[in-house]
Amino acid sequence: MRPFMLQKPDMIVSSLEPSVRSLCREWAHSEVASIEAVLSLIYSLAEIIQSGFLSSNDDLSTRAKSLVLQVLSSEVSRCGAYVVNTTFFEIICRYDKLLMASQRSLPSLLEAFLDARGLLHPSARLRARVVYLFCRFVKAHRQLLGDYVGTVLTQLAPLLAVSPAVNSLFTDDDQMFLYEATSTMIVFGSLNVQLKEQYMKELVGSLLQKFLAANDELCKTYLEKVPTDSTEMMDSLRQYLHRMVACLDEQLLPALPNIFSKFLSSASSHKTLHDFLLLVSQIFARLKSKVLNSGLDIRALFDLLWSVHSSEHDLADEVVARNLCYLNRAYLQMVLSIIANDLLPLVANCGSDFMAPLSASLLSFCTCSDTVAQKVAVSTIAKLMWRCFNNNTIAFIDISVWEQSIITVHVSVFSVVSIEEFLKLEFDAVIRNVLPLEIAHKLPEYLNSLKGKELDKKMDELFAQLRSQRSAA
């Protein structure tokens, strides 16, 4: 059998009508328990009637809707009691569709949210609930609150302050609802474009200051406290830094030397070093030439990588071979990132004895069995040559024995074509000095008259001729 209230909704509404009228007139002289009882029944009308009364126009639904509007138009929230005010604001959000159809109460309800009845109430527990309900209220009525945006933002400004001493009314989590409500009102408010832009900049600036302060503290703590011998914690730190690189800009620069030092001291396996190189490439791609102002010394990273390359590895072990393969690719991608993002001064600052092992390292990957690494190595060398040419410096790298790979041949040809197209005079000067006379004559002819697979085929023949001559020598 259904509960009595659900069986006799008409009787409940009939008994509520005089109680609501009395409450709206005499709330100041009513007991808190009595007010709570009436408000609780108003809140529960949706369950009591069970007929979607908000969208119905029958007599019972009309009377029930009138009761809700009477309560929301009253001053009962000035009672101040926790249970009364909480229920009052819950009613506002529960019957938001009714308020959309009857908007007369919106200004007074907005005022109730903003003053000592709501967001400024002495009870921290009530404020925490009201700030969430306020966010819901603003989002539900965003199209109707446009004329009140200026007033609301003025009243909310102190609550959005960065200083914890000023903003002691809300926890950080609670304050996020304030930011969400504020941004919603700015976007949908009846403000001109310039004013919206100004408000959004102020809002974002406040958020950014809080975020940067928190991140500085977190980053400092993590870099100091995370043990380097804990693979799991170092991996979590790396993932955190990936996200910070995506979010921040030059704010991350002061921490770069410590980040590199931390991870280099913990690079205990091919995989951990590979994962760190992915982070390094992301940093270079994100910050570009700004990295040059970070005081970063990249020599230690290269020395560690070259040490790994020169060590003996059990390539019969599938896991070791796979991890080494991925590490080599990440290494080449990092070097390519240095060149592509105008970070060559990082390399130049490593000393005169640095370029020889770097060149030898790049050339060695042009003859490795991993075609992906070959492709990246050739692209890296081509971009490095481009940078040298672009700086009016005729620089060349000694011809290596190219692996017979379709991918490598194609990328090599593409690189040569690009250099010849954009730097024709320098290119001609280089090939006359580097290549045998016969090949130096054929190369420009092929580049100017052939395309696609036919060009790849002829260039492959030239590479074979070079290999043959070098082998004979």
362 closest CA partner among 348, 344, 343, 375 = 375
Task: Give the start-to-end residue ranges of the domains of the chain.
Answer: 9-211, 228-410, 421-472
Find out whether 53 and 64 touch, Cβ atoms under 8 Å. Answer: yes
367 closest CA partner among 355, 357, 356, 375 = 375
Per-residue pLDDT at 296: 87
Q: How confident is the model at residue 397 (pLDDT cuts 50, 70, 90)?
A: very low
Share of the chain above pLDDT 90, in %: 29
> In terms of pLDDT, which residue wins out, 23 or 459?
23
pLDDT in tens, 301-312: 999 999 998 888
Per-residue pLDDT at 404: 41
Q: Is the pLDDT of residue 42 over 70?
A: yes
Q: What 3-state DSSP class applies to 249?
A: coil
At how many degrees (to 10) do helices 82-94 and 124-140 cross? 20
Residue 224 CA, distance from chain mean position = 24
* For residues 283-294, average pLDDT: 91
CA distance 162 to 155: 15
* DSSP-assigned letter for residue 394: -
Q: Is the pLDDT of residue 6 over 70?
A: no
Per-residue pLDDT at 4: 46
Around Cβ 105, how many Cβ atoms within 10 Å?
A: 19
The model's pTM: 0.50
> In terms of pLDDT, which residue wins out, 120 or 215?
120
Look up residue 84 and give its two tokens: 């009364």
pLDDT in tens, 245-267: 887 778 788 889 989 998 988 87
User: Exposure of 229 by Cβ count < 10 A (0-12 exposed, 13-18 middle, 19+ buried)?
Assistant: exposed
H or E, element range at 367: none
Q: Is the pLDDT of residue 438 over 70?
A: yes
pLDDT in tens, 310-351: 888 888 889 889 999 999 999 999 999 998 898 888 887 787
pLDDT in tens, 398-407: 334 334 445 5
* For residues 89-101, average pLDDT: 92
CA-based radius of gyration for the chain: 36
Q: How confident is the model at residue 32 (pLDDT cuts 50, 70, 90)?
A: very high
* For residues 168-194, average pLDDT: 79
402 closest CA partner among 431, 367, 351, 374 = 367
CA distance 278 to 327: 10
Q: How confident is the model at residue 414 (pLDDT cuts 50, 70, 90)?
A: low
pLDDT in tens, 370-394: 888 988 888 888 777 666 555 443 3
Per-residue pLDDT at 88: 95
Residue 456 CA, distance from chain mean position = 42
